[in-house]
A and B are shown apart, each in its own frame.
Chain A
Amino acid sequence: MDLLYLILRAFIQGSIYALASIGLSLQWGVLRNLNFSHGAAITFGAYIVWFSLESLGFTYLFAFIAMLLASFVLGIAIEWLTVKPFFAKNDTNIFIATVALSSIMAQVYHIVFGGRQKFMRPLVDQLIKIGPLQATVQELLTILITAFTLVVLWFILQRTKTGRSIRAVSQDQVGAILSGINTRRVYSTTLGVATMLAGIAGMLLGPIYFVSPHMGESPMVKAFIIVILGGLGSLKGTVIAAFIVAMVEVLVGRYIGVTWAPMMLFIIMIMILIFRPQGLFGVSNRKA
């Protein structure tokens, strides 16, 4: 029964990880670059929701919508500032610019909201117990919201014109341009969507941990491990890897010791790089 409980915990943890990392994977697919400010984007989502709830007195639904809008705009701004000037010219500069930006953002949170941890109230404050299993309603909602978000994302990517253009660019850039796709717009849309996904992850992390200026960094480290494990650019792989990583963390934490989990993940990462560098579900390499 202990095991069943651990699986439940891994599922909760894994859903948040999936949300935190899928945006990174999406960006990698389209831009072939990584965005170091992704962690700061997670924090951003959490602060916007907290601020809307506590200071503006919004309901959760409105706070959620406000967060989505703000995150989308933030994503476009990130693209404009760190990707657009250097894209296809200097990848090193994109990397450095996003690192610098993430440091700026964390400090801005610190100045605006203060260094103290903020408590974000959960949507529903209740505990459910079924036999030996227990979880807060918030945690179960986390799983639901993640599932819902992933389905919506899947639908957008598969069934809408914008979604198809994102997939097209990530599969063949030249083919996409010659089909008349405005790649510039796809880049900013992708960053907008990825930042929204990060924001949702931040919103869900808020009530479980606390809201603080650097709260997004640790999930970002996990997200990096997850995208490597799942295969860069593979969304399916990313989601599965998120649950694997959560499972490893929970099991190692329970049976070996909490502080050993990061070490374990690092070893897994090295193993993956040695034996299966394309990840568990690596995708084909885009030409040019």
Chain B
Amino acid sequence: MLKVDDIHLKIGEIDILRGLSLEVGDNQRIGIIGPNGHGKSTTMLSISGMWKPHQGKIMFDGVDITGLNPQKIVEMGIILVPEGGHLFPDMTIYENLLMGAYSKRASKKQDEQMELVLSLFPKLELLKSRKANTLSGGELRMLAVGRGLMGLPKLLMLDEPTLGLQPNLVEEMGETLKKIGNLGTSVILSDENMDLVSAFAEDVYFIENGEVMLSGPTQDVLADQYVRKTYLGLIE
């Protein structure tokens, strides 16, 4: 459904993406791993239209979406849950979720989706009328993922959903991801936590220096010597 083909992106004078390609099938769960600052977030932001690659192509459901406005891309069902969440601090949880269903496509099914999201995150249901800036770190991540789901995603991209979370909360996020996987949406997950990625993703892309260095079934990539050495820091 998503095909990223050889995209290049420069920010200022620095090459961030250098011919990066990846593919996501229907209903597929993809993991992206690699060192920080090597283009994982930028790849997702480019797919969302926040950055415009100056070379290469991004196709979604057979439509060329390279350089489209973020708004149009959201309308097509590609939703990014950005690093740090970018929630609306002065709005209630309920309002934050509503904002997730802002697109025309999603707002039609807003009420059903709200019910679904609140059943996925019973905690959010309880805190519905609290303001986002009063939430704890774990609750904020839940809300961010929930807001993303409100957009009725065909493809959901999660950028570092467990960054800085305590181990028990990471586990909770793992449970949530499992439920999301069952919803029938394609997902791209980028996370530091290898256990989380290996439990969730079917295929993994290892990104370094703005390129895909290695990709394939999760177990194979994670078993690779190079990946283990350079990234996971495991010496055998």
Contact = CB atoms under 8 A, between A and B. Distances in A.
Contact of B50 (A164, A177, A181): A177
Contact of A165 (B50, B87, B102): B102
Interface string A135-166: 00000000000000000000000000100110
Contact of B99 (A168, A182, A283, A284): A168
On chain B, which size bracket covers the interface?
A: 20 to 34
B147 A179 contact: yes
Contacts of B71: 177, 180-182
A287 interface: yes
Contacts of A175: 82, 85-88, 99
B187 to A, nearest CB: 16
A178 interface: yes
Contacts of A165: 99, 102
Interface string A158-200: 0001001101100110111111111000000000000000000
The A interface, classified by DSSP as helix, strand, loop or mixed, is: helix
Contact of A171 (B74, B84, B90, B151): B90
Contacts of A177: 50, 70-71
B75 A172 contact: no
Nearest to B87: A175
Q: Which of B50, B69, B71, B82 has most A Cβ within 10 Å?
A: B71
B48 A284 contact: no
B90 A178 contact: no
Nearest to B107: A161
A179 B84 CA distance: 15
A179 B95 CA distance: 12
A175 B86 CA distance: 5
Contacts of B151: 179-180
Interface in B8-63: 48, 50
Interface in A260-288: 283-284, 287
A164 B99 contact: yes
B90 A167 contact: yes
B75 to A, nearest CB: 6
Contact of A180 (B82, B85, B86, B103): B103
Interface string B89-127: 111000100111011001100000000000000000000
Given A179-B151, A180-B103, 15 more contacts: A165-B102, A167-B91, A168-B91, A171-B91, A174-B50, A174-B82, A174-B86, A178-B79, A180-B70, A180-B75, A180-B151, A181-B102, A182-B69, A284-B90, A287-B86
14 contacts: A165-B102, A168-B88, A171-B89, A171-B91, A172-B87, A175-B87, A175-B99, A178-B48, A179-B103, A179-B151, A180-B70, A180-B106, A287-B84, A287-B86
Return the 9 tightest CB-CB contacts between A and B, nearest first.
Answer: A175-B86, A180-B74, A180-B103, A171-B88, A174-B86, A180-B102, A179-B102, A179-B99, A172-B86
Interface of B: 48, 50, 69-71, 74-75, 79-80, 82, 84-91, 95, 98-100, 102-103, 106-107, 133, 147, 151
Interface of A: 161, 164-165, 167-168, 171-172, 174-182, 283-284, 287
